[in-house]
Amino acid sequence: MSPTNREIQLQKNCQLYRFVLHSLHKEVPYAIEECAHSYEYPVDCSKELAALLSQLDAATLNDLMSTPDCVEAYHLRQWWEMYQSYIPIEK
């Protein structure tokens, strides 16, 4: 059976969250690692990802999203822009 659109998006979010945690030298929770590798373990981590990104200073956030030749950085920038468009972050 093919994964649903929701399962695909949940996996992509977990992959981005894992990328950010690795980049910040933080531990990746087991559930996030599993979701990043398999559709069978869906985890909704969008709020956690958004909270982590909103806590970062502008320079760190820019470094994460501007890494040349890094597909995850590109997708993270897209995800963050879309997230802020639909769920505005108050500062």
The mean pLDDT value for 24-47 works out to 94
User: Quick one: pLDDT at residue 41?
Assistant: 86
Helix axes 30-37, 5-23, angle to 10 degrees: 130
**Residue pLDDT, tens place only, 55-89:** 999 999 999 999 888 999 999 999 999 998 887 65
Mean pLDDT of all residues belonging to the chain? 92
Mean pLDDT of 15-41: 95
The predicted structure's pLDDT at residue 89: 59
Mean pLDDT of 40-57: 94
Q: In this predicted structure, what is the pLDDT of residue 67?
A: 84
Contact 66, 23 (CB under 8 A): no
The number of beta carbons lying within 10 Å of the beta carbon of residue 17 is 26
The pTM for the full model equals 0.90
Q: Which residues of 60-70 are buried (b: 16+ CB within 10 A; e: fewer)?
A: ebeebbeeeee
